[in-house]
Amino acid sequence: MLGEHDNMQPATEGAPRWMGLAVVGLAVLSLVGVGMAWNATSHAHDADQALAAQSAQSKTFQQNQDQLTQRLAQAEQTNAQMQGELNLVGRKLKLTEGQVAVARNQVKQERADYTKKLTDVETTLATKASTDDVNAIGTDVNGVKTDLDATKGSLQQLRRRARRIDRPQS
């Protein structure tokens, strides 16, 4: 009996070694899967935000486009009205070349008359200014003469008093 027991190998207790490696591998694989899921969720969230922003931009763009379309329609309507008014004014203001020539000649004649009148007024003003200047100078000369006479009289009085003071009193 002894021989039989010697041939037999003792049985190891516990799980085989490959099971431990399999558990570690599965744990690593699970962590990688969780990381990829978190990454995918993050990308999905970012994509949702980008889509929302793009949707808002699209809405704003559409509003701007609608406003521009309205402005263009108003501008076209205003342009059509102005074109009609311009045509009406053009028909009313059609002048012949003869009428234009007559109007130009009248303007030239009026300019010549105005220039002549202006020259006459300037000459009159120049003459009047010189007469007024002479009268003003005459008045100024008379005032200076009066002041000079008064000063002369005052000097004579001072000389008389000075002579009286200088004389010895007897």
Confidence label for 1 from pLDDT (cuts 50, 70 and 90):
very low
Alpha-carbon torsion (139, 140, 143, 144), positive or negative: negative
- Taken as a whole, the chain contains a residue count of 170
**pLDDT above 80: residue 168:** no
Residue 118 CA: distances (Å) to CA of 19, 80, 96, 123, 124: 123, 48, 33, 9, 10
Tell me the DSSP string of 135-166: HHHHHHHHHHHHHHHHHHHHHHHHHHHHHHHH
**pLDDT above 50: residue 162:** yes
* Single pTM value for the model: 0.31
Q: Residue 103: which residues within 8 A CB-CB, separation 6 or more?
A: 95
pLDDT tens per residue across span 4-56: 555 555 555 666 888 889 899 999 999 999 999 999 999 999 999 998 888 88
Residue 51 CA: distances (Å) to CA of 45, 72, 75: 10, 31, 35
pLDDT tens per residue across span 87-127: 887 777 776 677 777 878 888 998 898 889 888 888 887 77
Structure tokens at 45: 């969230």
Q: Distance (Å, rounded) from C-alpha 75 to C-alpha 143?
A: 78
Structure tokens at 30: 């699970």
Q: Distance (Å, rounded) from C-alpha 153 to C-alpha 170?
A: 29
Higher pLDDT, 21 or 141: 21
